[in-house]
Amino acid sequence: MEVDYSKIKVIGFDADDTLWINETYFRETEEHFASLLEGYETKNKIDQELFKMEIKNLELYGYGIKGFVLSMIESALDLSNNKLPQEILSKILDLGKTMLRQPVELLDGVEEVLQRLEQKGYRLIVLTKGDLLDQERKLEKSGLSKYFHHVEVLSDKKESNYKNLLEHLEIDVNEFLMVGNSLKSDVIPLLNIGAQAIHIPFHTTWVHETVSEKEEQENDYLKLNSIKDLLKYLD
């Protein structure tokens, strides 16, 4: 597709699964969780109930590992009719701690691209959602902080969140480009407020972040296979 990024001065990057691996750890933990509860229900049922619990609790806990752990505990209590052994509860808590201690594994080409874009004079910012402490930890461990002028951890990524933030940072919507792995969170809301966005899919996507085929087709955006491909359009 034809794109024109000549007016772009500020580039926003999602963090999880755009700069570093994240969703993979959630999928692995779900597998362990299902194994812990295999005496109560089938894996399919456990997965379904956990997802429903996560969605129900989003308003209370928001996004991130801590909310995920609380949802696992609540789901386990429900599935066991409140007869969950203390040993399994402890193992669920350990699953969460293991997630929080995971090393930060950058996706291929990330630092090379950020370095080049900074050299070209673009103002780079991080716009992510999730738990503030965890996201700050990951950014520090990533070694990428030096490339970003601003880091914002949003409670959600809706049009109003982006619009308010761009206004607060005095960024002209016509000069802003968002880059992320989620059409629902990183692309469509930006297009709806008049900004531009680039989609770089990750091989695993949380069901809550998927959109319909119709929504995919109705929106005009550039889709890339790798963050390294950004340099073909912005270098």
Domains in the chain and their CATH numbers?
10-20+104-234 (3.40.50.1000), 23-100 (1.10.150.240)
Q: How are beta strands 222-223 and 176-180 bridged, if at all?
A: unpaired
Backbone angles phi, psi at 32, to 5 degrees: -65, -40
Tell me, what's the pLDDT at 155?
A: 83
**Tokens 């080049």 correspond to what residue?**
116
144-154 tens-digit pLDDT? 999 999 999 98
Instruction: Please report, as a single letter, which amino acid is at residue 2.
Output: E
Q: CB count, 10 Å around CB of 4?
A: 8
pLDDT band at 72 (very low <50, low <70, confident <90, very high): very high
Phi then psi for residue 37, to 5 deg, are -105, 15
Instruction: Enter the pTM of the model.
Output: 0.89
Q: Beta 10-13 vs 176-180: how paired, if at all?
A: parallel
- Per DSSP, the residues of the chain read -----TT--EEEE--BTTTB--HHHHHHHHHHHHHHTTTTS-HHHHHHHHHHHHHHHHHHH-SSHHHHHHHHHHHHHHHTTT---HHHHHHHHHHHHHHHT----BPTTHHHHHHHHHHTT-EEEEEEES-HHHHHHHHHHHT-GGG-SEEEEES---HHHHHHHHHHTT--GGGEEEEES-IIIIIHHHHHTT-EEEE---S---GGG---HHHHHHS--EE-SSGGGGHHHH-
| pLDDT tens per residue, range 112-144 | 999 999 999 999 999 999 888 899 999 999 999
Question: What pLDDT sits at residue 130?
Answer: 85
Confidence of residue 220 (pLDDT cuts 50, 70, 90): confident
**Mean pLDDT of the region 84-91:** 96
Look at the block and give the residue holding tokens 């928001």. Answer: 62
Phi–psi pair at 179, nearest 5 degrees: -125, 125
Q: Is the pLDDT of residue 208 over 90?
A: no
Query: pLDDT at position 27, please?
Result: 93
How high is the pLDDT of residue 85? 95
- Determine the pLDDT at residue 98: 96
Calculate the alpha carbon distances from 168 to 141, 146, 153, 162, 188 in Å.
Answer: 27, 22, 14, 10, 21
pLDDT for position 202? 85
Pull the structure tokens for residue 231: 């340099």
Tokens (6 digits) for 62: 């928001």
